[in-house]
Amino acid sequence: MNSSKKSRQAKLSEIIENDPLTTDEELASKLEVSVSTIRLDRALLGIPELRERTKKRAQEAISRLRSLSLSEIVGELLELEPNKWALSILKASRDMAFRNTKLIWDHYIFSQASSIAVAVIEASTVIVESMRGEYKGHAYIGDSLIARAKVGVNKEGTTIVSVRTKVADKEIFVGRFITKVLTSDN
């Protein structure tokens, strides 16, 4: 195997490890090769296609979910490391858009962020006590909204969770959620 092929395959593995939602077309563009070359490299490296990577990660994440049921998540939970971070995707559809436009209602963006902020906390019952957020852009029908939650400070059952939502490379929402674990005393 020549060094450029070895180097390309190492870079391909690194890109997918850092962003498992990268499509073959995006990989081909980043690595300046054809889509068929990417597919061959993935096959040689034993890296499944996007759909299989997503399905496997989602199943692993769902098995760790405690604070919500799967039906309470807005979007699809892709990854979850309890009390550390989480990742979800929401595919924007026609029924989420303002009438006569392709623009997605803001409450869908907020709901995805709020549900992943709760989902990332490992406890049976978690609520959002307060939130400070900012909309920085818009989503449209057909967009894939990727929300990443990161757990921050945790004091006496109250945890700060930061959520950032992107469409492609553009950040469209940033929120800071203060969550509280409810116990039988609450």
Span 145-169, average pLDDT: 92
> Does the pLDDT of residue 69 top 70, yes or no?
no
At residue 67 the predicted structure's pLDDT band, cuts being 50, 70 and 90, is low
> Does the pLDDT of residue 70 top 70, yes or no?
no
Angle between helices 24-31 and 3-18 (to 10 degrees): 130
SS3 state of residue 35: helix
Strand partners, 162: 150, 176
pLDDT at 65: 64
Which carries the bigger pLDDT value, residue 80 or residue 21?
80
At residue 155 the predicted structure's pLDDT band, cuts being 50, 70 and 90, is confident
- 79 and 121 in contact (C-beta within 8 Å)? no
Residues of the chain with CATH 1.10.10.10: 3-47
CATH class of the structural domain 3-47: mainly alpha
| The CATH number of the domain covering residues in 60-181 | 3.10.129.10
Mean pLDDT of the chain: 88
> Does the pLDDT of residue 115 top 70, yes or no?
yes
> Does the pLDDT of residue 172 top 90, yes or no?
yes
Residues of the chain with CATH 3.10.129.10: 60-181
Tokens matching residue 156: 């006496």
Q: How many residues does the chain have?
A: 186
Residue 55 has φ and ψ, to the nearest 5°, of: -60, -45
Name the nearest CA neighbour of 79 among 12, 152, 9, 17: 17
> Does the pLDDT of residue 117 top 90, yes or no?
yes
CA dist., res. 142 & res. 123, Å (int): 33
